[in-house]
Each structure stands twice: as structure tokens, then as C-alpha cells.
Amino acid sequence: MTADAELERLLPIWAELLAVPQVEPTDDFVALGGHSVAAARLTARVRRLFGVDLPVSAVFAAGTPAGLAARIAAGARTAAVPAANPALPASAGHAERPGMSPTMSPTQRLQWFAEKFSDGHSPYTIPLTLRLRGLVDPRALRRALRELVTRHQILRTTYGEQDGQPRPRIESADRFAVGQVRVPADRLAGWLRTQARRPFDLAAELPVRATLCRISTDHHVLSIVVHHIAADGWSRSILLDDLDALYAFHRGTGKAPPAAVQYSDVARVPEDPADVAWWADRLRGAPSRTTFPSPAPRPATLSDAGGLVPLEIGAGLSDRVRRMAAVTGVTPYAVCMAALTALLASLSGERDVVVATSTAGRSEWEAERVVGCFINTMAIRTDSSDDPSARELSRRVQHATLAALDHSTATFDSIVRALAPLRDPAYRPLCQVMLTMHNEPGLRPRLSGLEVQWIEVDNGGAKCDVFVDLTDDGGPLRGTLVYRTQLYDAGTARRLATRYVTLLSHMADHPERPLSALSGGDHAH
């Protein structure tokens, strides 16, 4: 097959993944809004369509459809695979298999242990909260929610314990029921926070609960809370799309969605010992306790109780960050991560810092429409001891992140075991600060015949000391700074958020200046 043949098939895939009407052979991936999630989805399609296994970094290195087509044609770093996933059984999509004991993924096991040792302030709940205006059909909605749990086995799996280890079991959907309550409008926000913060007993409860809250005849709020062991950020849009289709079906205005592929049916790339070794080498010697100074003494044992403050980024700064990223040849994520890295280096006094981030983990094409927890945590190590420019630091972050994605079969738990750091219950291992940027498919909730509005609800948990949680879905960048309330009060967190946004702004406006010359981070040497 010639490069021209590959190119002809690649162009519509690029257009679909980057949500643009048309792509030319020489269009630049990053300039069109490409990011690591889109690159991972692109490599999954290349693997399926061409039988060629490319690392995520190959998309950025090739840069254009023409360049990637040449890489495919040349067979660079290829590993032929069948067009269809042999690990996807013919039974995929058959939801009624109660009583089975599916194998847990490494990520699920980490979620289980985290919940087991949680102090009741679990940061591992995912609230899906919808304001519904119009005349709701409660019977159709209850049936739709029940069928949603029926069709996705992961939503009706419990996690008992035997000899200190989790034992998952698929339950009947009969155990799921939709609650109904009446809440005055002035008490709604508090009620929603309570729902989001209520922990799950994973041994006894399904990892999902749903309650329809009636405000008035034509005003309801639907609260769905899912535990992270059963879903991730990517899963939210799948669940909402399925709920929309099922609600329309039970109202008699739409067709039932096709059978769902199950989480347990999707092949996962096995952990490569070479990837674990790469990570151990990459992180060896890095400081394992780098965090922002706290006005409070560090407790002997950490609580997961958290608070959040908004990051006031706005449309203007978002545009400037994107322009800097495009000129630099990096993603907006790299610029935002560079700003957090620079701020952490400045305030901690440590120039060699490690900041956690997460990857979607959906390396197989089939996984794109599967509800489940696929994410993996990665530790991004960056050195700023030579006082680089903002542009150079962003490039270093991009390089480190792409290298990490190319070795992403290693789980965070395996990396920690390989490095064997001294364990201290006052610190999370390896990383105490984290940044994520959500650029998975955007949330567009709909329900037939209703006006639907998404409501953000804080689950009250903190996964680490400081967590910068950003979303880039094509509009202005937005986000929050989540903080551990044992260490920081709201005023300290607001000042930290302001300093982060200020430094991000100055980096975007003066990308060639060294970090020490940028205010906001006060990167002194």
C-alpha cells in the first residue's frame, strides 16, 4: 500500500477526531487543536485499519496527515495486528450475566484499596447532575435508568473481600432502584453536595445511585452518582448518551440503543516490564516529597477531605495560551502544566519536580464507547534548574508527557513498587501535586422533550495536596484548584489559584522570558 492510499483513509479520520469539517494533507495536528487524547484515539484507529502499531508520540512527530501516512507506509515501529480485536468475544454486549466474577483491572484494584482506607471523604465519586425543565415522564425515566444499569455490567458489580483482596461479583439489576425526593429550591445545592459526598459501601452496594428530585411540576433535578471504580471522566458522555436514547425509547419516541460492549470484554494491553523499568529509571533520584508550603503543620495521617476554588482563566487568557502553544508546537496542556511546574518549583524551592497527571488509557478502538475506569496516573518529571524560558519549559513538559504516553502500559502502582520509596502516611507516594486536562468528548446532555442543563457538583474530596483540574472542550479553558483542607484554608487556596493564573498569563504573554523574570511565580535563583 502506498502513502497516498493511507493518506486518503487518514484525512477523514483526522477531521472526525479534531472536529473540523475538512483536513488537508499538510495541516498541522497541534495547530488544529490536536492533543494527547486525540493522538491516542488516532493511533488506535491506525492500529485497527492498517495493522500498524504506532506510539502516541509518532502523531506529534509526523505532524501532518501526509507525514503520518508516510510513517505508516514505511512501517516505522510497526507491529501487525488483526483488523478485528481477537480479545473481543462474540458474546460482547450481552449484559445479563449476574453471578459472574470478572477480573479487576489494576486501576480498579487501586480504587478499591483507596476506598477501603478512605476516612469517609472519598474523592472517588463522579456526580452526574442534570437540571430538567419541562414535564418529566417519571416512569420512562426510571425504566431508562434501570436499563442503563442492566446494559452496563460494571454498574451492577459489587466488590466483596476475601483474604484482604477484592472479589468482584456481577449482580442482578433488580438491586437497583431510583430514589424520589422533594427538596426546596433554596436547599438544593446542599442536598446535591450531600449526595455527591456520600461514600459507597462497595461490598454491599452497586457503584451507582440515582435520585430524581422534584422542585416543582416542570422543574426536576436528576442526581446520578457513580463510583470511580465503575467509570471515569470519559464514561460520563457514554452514560448520558445512553440515558437519552433509553428515555426516548421508553417514551415511545426513539429506538433502543445497540447492545453495549462490556468493560470486562475490552482487551487491555498487558503491562510491559520494559515500561516499568523505563519509569523507574526516569524517576530515580527525583524528590519524592515536593508540594506547596502549607500554613498548617503536616498531619501524621492524611485525610481525603477537600475544598475547591475556581480558576479564573477566561476567554482572553485561553486564546493567548492557545496561541503560545500553537507557535511553540505544543498543546495547551503543556503550557498549563509548565505553569504549575514553575509555580511549584518556585514556592517549594525544588527545581527538579514531579507533577502527576492522568491518561485516558483507552488504547483500543473498542474502548471508546465502553463505560469503565481506564485511566492511569503518570508522573511528569521536569527540571527547571537552568532557568529556562516559558516556551522551553513547555517544550520540556510536552517531551516528557509524550515519552510517558509511549510507556503507558506501566501502572502507577507498579512504578511505586519498582522505586520502593519510603512510605509515609503523611504523603502520597511520588507525587503530591497533580494536573489533569479533560479533552475527552464533551458533555452535551439531552433528554427527549426536556430542556437539560448540566450542574457541576463538588464531591468534597481531594486526591492529593493540590489538584489543578482543567477542561479544554473547544471553548474557554476552565477549571478548579482542589486542595486538601488539612493543609490549606480557602484563603490560601484562592491566593495559590490567583498566582497560578497570573503566572500562566505572563508565560503566555512573554514566552521567551526566563522563569525568573516572570511575576506570579517568583521563580528566584
What cell does 255 get? 429506538
* Residue length of the chain: 525
Q: Angle CA(483)–CA(511)–CA(14) in degrees, nearest 5?
A: 80
- Of 375, 447, 442, 370, the C-alpha closest to 151 is 370
- Please tell me the predicted confidence (pLDDT) of residue 434: 97
- Please tell me the predicted confidence (pLDDT) of residue 361: 82
- Please tell me the predicted confidence (pLDDT) of residue 362: 81
Express each pLDDT in 94-116 by its tens digit: 444 566 667 888 889 888 988 88
Q: Angle CA(218)–CA(223)–CA(229) in degrees, nearest 5?
A: 160
Q: What distance in Å separates the CA atoms of residue 445 and residue 452, rounded to the nearest whole number?
A: 6
Q: What distance in Å separates the CA atoms of residue 522 and residue 346, rounded to the nearest whole number?
A: 6
Here the contacts of 75-83 (C-beta below 8 Å, separation 24 or greater) are: 77/53, 78/51, 78/52, 78/53, 78/54, 79/52, 79/53, 80/51, 80/52, 80/53, 81/47, 81/48, 81/51, 81/53, 82/51, 83/48, 83/49, 83/51
Q: Is the pLDDT of residue 82 over 60?
A: no
Residue that is written with C-alpha cell 458522555 in the block: 237
Higher pLDDT, 87 or 494: 494
Lowest average pLDDT, out of 49-63, 141-155, 378-392, 489-503, goes to 49-63
What cell does 312 get? 479564573
Identify whether the C-beta of residue 501 lies closer than 8 Å to the C-beta of residue 313: yes
- Of 448, 452, 444, 443, the C-alpha closest to 140 is 448
Average pLDDT over residues 214-230: 96
Q: pLDDT grade, residue 522 (50/70/90)?
A: low
Identify whether the C-beta of residue 447 lies closer than 8 Å to the C-beta of residue 244: yes
Beta pairing partners, 212? 180, 222
Q: Is the pLDDT of residue 422 over 60?
A: yes
Q: pLDDT grade, residue 79 (50/70/90)?
A: very low
Beta pairing partners, 461? 305
Q: Could you give the percent of the chain with pLDDT greater than 70?
A: 92
Identify whether the C-beta of residue 401 lies closer than 8 Å to the C-beta of residue 434: no
Express each pLDDT in 159-197 by its tens digit: 999 988 999 999 999 999 999 999 998 999 999 999 999
Q: Is the pLDDT of residue 324 over 70?
A: yes
Cα-trace Rg, the chain: 23
Winning range, highest mean pLDDT, from 82-86, 119-123, 287-291: 287-291
- Please tell me the predicted confidence (pLDDT) of residue 2: 58
Beta pairing partners, 453? 131
Identify whether the C-beta of residue 379 lies closer than 8 Å to the C-beta of residue 430: yes
- Please tell me the predicted confidence (pLDDT) of residue 453: 96
Q: What is the mean pLDDT of the chain?
A: 88
Helical (H) or strand (E) element with 167? strand 165-170
Q: Is the pLDDT of residue 524 over 60?
A: no
Express each pLDDT in 259-276 by its tens digit: 999 998 886 778 999 999
Q: Is the pLDDT of residue 46 over 90?
A: no
Express each pLDDT in 139-157 by its tens digit: 999 999 999 999 999 999 9
- Please tell me the predicted confidence (pLDDT) of residue 85: 39
Q: Give the list of residues 6+ apart from residue 218 with CB closer than 8 angstroms, or none.
A: 133, 134, 135
- Of 267, 256, 266, the C-alpha closest to 151 is 256
DSSP string, 366-417: GGGG--S---EEEEEEEE-TT--BHHHHHHHHHHHHHHHHTTTTS-HHHHHH
Going from the C-alpha of 390 to that of each of 189, 354, 479, 524, the distances in angstroms are: 40, 17, 21, 14
Lowest average pLDDT, out of 43-57, 219-233, 364-378, 455-469, goes to 43-57
